Amino acid sequence: MTLDLQVCACCGTAQYPPRSVCRTCLSEALEARAMEAIGTLVAAATVHRSLDPGAFAKSLPLRIGTVALESSVRMIVLVPRDAIIGQRVSLRAASGGHAIEAVVLADPSARPRSQD
């Protein structure tokens, strides 16, 4: 899966969420670019209670985590219960399309494809 990330045309910095200027050089020359959604799980936590009883109640306990993508962007996503910090993951749209979830890569040496 690829993600359309905002990339600075001046310095090449990718950023998420989108902003009006580049977080590195403050340029306004920003463009959307499809980038490979492969990275490393750097943190995870399990949510046992929802502040909104209607939201996610059927999904609890829910495991969420932070994934550091190769583009240096970090995203908070749904994480498999057996995922371990440091594992290589790929991101995809979760069922229903309202969230992004991580999938542990069977080949931990998997590298993103060239962005050319």
> Nearer Cβ to Zn ion, position 73 or 79?
73
Binding mask 42-71 for Zn ion (x = CB under 5 A): ------------------------------
The residue count for binding Zn ion (CB under 5 A) is 8
Nearest distance, CB of residue 39 and Zn ion, angstroms: 21
Strand ranges (E), the chain: 2-8, 14-15, 30-36, 38-47, 62-69, 74-78, 88-93, 100-104
Which of positions 3-42 make contact with Zn ion (CB under 5 A)? 8, 10-11, 13, 22, 24-25, 27
Matching residue, tokens 């936590």: 45
Question: Taking the CA atoms of the chain, what radius of gyration do you get in angstroms?
Answer: 16
- Our measurement of the distance from residue 3's CA atom to the centroid of its chain's CA atoms, rounded to an integer in Å, reads 9
| Residue ranges in contact with Zn ion by CB under 5 A | 8, 10-11, 13, 22, 24-25, 27
